[in-house]
C-alpha cells in the first residue's frame, strides 16, 4: 500500500475529508521554473501527494524534454495548443485520479508543511471548496504577494495584505476570504467541476475571480491559510506583471474584455445598475492608463470582444446566478483598490487614492439598496 493510500485509510478512520492529493502543474514555456517547482513537490510527497501531473500548453522552450529526462515519474498531459491556464487547469482536474487536487502554477514553489496545513484546514471546514496558502515573492520571501481578497464591486479583487511585510501581515490560521488567487490552490474538484470549473473564455485574468464569485454565490467557502506559504516567482515574460509601470498590451486587452465578461455573467442586474457609477469611474481611469501605456487599440479590441461575446456570456449567466444562496450585499465590498507600489507613487498615486475614496463612498451608499 502506498504512503498516500495509508494516509487516506488513516484519514477515513478519523473522519478527514481530504484523502490522497493529485498535483496539477500548469506549464507554458516554463523550463526554468519547472525544476524548483517539481523538486519541492517531490520533497513533499509524504504530505499526501499521490501523483503529479504537468499539463503543458504547447511549450517550445525545452520543457517537455526536461520532463522526460529529469522527471520520468511525472505524468505529462500535452494540450496541443496554448488556450490559457484555465483550460489546462480544467484538463488536469478531470484527468486527476483523486477528488482533491493541488493546482500549482509552474512558477510556484511549495514549502515544507504547506500541503499538510491546507489539508487540515479543509478537513476542519466541510463547506470549503478551495483552500489556498499565503503566497510570498520568491525573490523577497518576507513580503506577501497574494493571500486572497474580497469581491470589489467595480469588478476587481480587493487584495488582502498586498505587498505587506510578512511580519506585519494581518491574519493567522485559516481565514475565510471571498476570492482565491490561482497560484497554488487545494481544490475540491467534485464541487468545482460541478459548478462549471474555470471559464475557459478568459485565457488569463479574472478566471479565478469569476470562479470565486460563483463559488461564494453558491454558498461554498474559500479559505486562506496564513501560515502555509508558497513562493511565487516571476511568471511568463510578456504576460505576467509584477513591478514597474510598463504594462503588457496583452493584459490591457484581457483586462478590458474580461472584467466586463465577469460582471455581466456574475452580478445581479440590480447590483450592476447600482454599481455602475463606480464601475464607469474605474473604467475612465483604466482607459487613461491604457492610453498612457500605448494600449488604446488593445482596450478598444477588448470592448469589441465584449459586444461580440454578449450572447455567450448571457447564456452562462443563467447558470452562474442559478441557485444563489448568498446575497450580493453580503459579498461585494467597496475597497481597497489595490495596485502595485510603483503605480501608487507620485501623481498617479494621488489619483488612485482619490478614486479609491470615491469608490468606497459610493458603495457605502449603494450597498444599502443591493439585494
Gap between the Cα atoms of 206 and 190, Å rounded: 22
Gap between the Cα atoms of 165 and 163, Å rounded: 7
Domain residue spans of the chain: 3-232, 249-369
Query: Which helix (H) or strand (E) is 90 found in, with range?
Result: helix 85-95
- How far CA 131 is from CA of 65, 105, 229, 234, 315, in Å, comes to 32, 15, 12, 23, 29
- How far CA 43 is from CA of 38, 40, 71, 110, in Å, comes to 8, 5, 13, 9
Those residues whose C-beta lies under 8 Å from the C-beta of residue 167, and which sit 6 or more positions away, are 142
The pLDDT assigned to 33 comes to 97
Query: Helix (H) and strand (E) counts for the chain?
Result: 13, 13
* CB atoms near residue 369 (< 10 Å): 11
Q: Hey, what CATH topology would domain 3-232 get?
A: Spore Coat Polysaccharide Biosynthesis Protein SpsA; Chain A (3.90.550)
Gap between the Cα atoms of 92 and 56, Å rounded: 10
Task: Give pTM, 2 decimals.
Answer: 0.93
Chunked mean pLDDT (size 10), the chain, 371 residues: 44 68 97 98 97 98 97 98 97 98 98 98 97 97 97 98 96 96 98 97 97 98 98 73 66 96 98 98 96 94 98 96 94 95 86 96 98 93
Written in H, E and C, the secondary structure of 214-230 is HHHHCCCEEEEEEEEEE
Residue 31 burial (C-beta neighbours within 10 Å; 0-12, 13-18, 19+)? middle
Please work out, in degrees rounded to the nearest 5, the angle formed at the alpha carbon of residue 91 by the alpha carbons of 88 and 94.
Answer: 150
- How large is the greatest C-alpha to C-alpha distance in the chain, in angstroms? 63
The pLDDT assigned to 7 comes to 47
Amino acid at each position: 500500500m502506498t504512503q498516500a493510500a495509508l494516509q487516506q485509510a488513516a484519514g477515513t478512520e478519523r473522519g478527514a475529508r481530504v484523502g490522497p492529493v493529485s498535483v496539477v502543474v500548469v506549464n507554458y514555456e516554463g523550463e526554468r521554473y519547472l525544476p524548483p517547482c517539481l523538486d519541492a513537490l517531490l520533497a513533499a510527497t509524504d504530505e499526501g501527494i499521490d501523483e503529479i501531473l504537468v499539463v503543458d500548453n504547447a511549450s517550445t522552450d525545452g520543457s517537455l524534454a526536461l520532463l522526460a529526462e529529469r522527471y520520468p515519474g511525472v505524468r505529462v498531459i500535452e494540450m496541443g495548443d496554448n488556450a490559457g491556464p484555465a483550460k489546462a487547469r480544467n484538463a488536469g482536474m478531470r484527468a486527476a485520479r483523486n477528488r482533491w487536487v493541488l493546482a500549482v502554477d509552474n512558477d510556484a514553489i511549495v514549502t515544507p508543511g504547506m500541503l499538510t496545513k491546507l489539508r487540515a484546514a479543509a478537513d476542519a471546514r466541510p463547506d470549503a471548496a478551495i483552500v489556498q496558502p499565503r503566497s510570498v515573492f520568491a525573490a523577497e520571501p518576507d513580503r506577501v504577494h497574494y493571500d486572497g481578497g474580497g469581491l470589489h464591486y467595480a469588478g476587481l479583487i480587493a487584495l488582502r495584505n498586498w505587498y505587506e511585510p510578512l511580519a506585519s501581515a494581518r491574519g493567522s490560521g485559516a481565514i475565510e476570504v471571498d476570492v482565491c488567487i490561482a497560484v497554488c490552490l487545494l481544490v475540491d474538484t467534485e464541487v468545482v467541476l460541478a459548478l462549471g470549473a474555470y471559464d475557459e473564455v478568459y485565457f488569463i485574468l479574472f478566471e479565478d475571480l469569476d470562479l470565486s464569485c460563483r463559488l461564494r454565490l453558491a454558498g461554498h467557502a474559500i479559505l486562506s491559510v496564513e501560515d502555509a506559504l508558497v513562493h511565487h516567482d516571476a511568471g511568463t515574460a510578456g504576460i505576467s506583471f509584477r513591478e514597474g509601470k510598463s504594462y503588457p498590451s496583452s493584459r490591457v486587452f484581457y483586462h478590458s474584455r474580461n472584467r466586463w465578461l465577469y460582471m455581466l455573467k456574475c452580478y445581479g442586474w440590480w447590483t450592476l445598475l447600482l454599481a455602475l457609477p463606480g464601475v464607469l469611474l474605474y473604467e475612465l481611469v483604466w482607459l487613461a492608463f491604457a492610453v498612457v501605456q500605448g494600449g488604446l487599440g488593445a482596450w478598444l479590441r477588448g470592448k469589441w470582444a465584449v459586444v461580440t461575446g454578449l450572447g455567450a456570456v448571457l447564456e452562462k449567466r443563467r447558470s452562474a446566478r442559478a441557485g444563489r444562496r448568498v446575497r450580493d450585499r453580503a459579498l461585494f465590498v467597496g475597497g481597497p483598490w489595490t495596485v502595485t507600489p510603483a503605480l501608487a507613487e507620485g501623481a498617479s498615486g494621488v489619483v488612485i487614492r482619490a478614486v479609491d475614496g470615491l469608490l468606497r463612498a459610493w458603495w457605502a451608499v449603494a450597498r444599502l439598496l443591493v439585494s
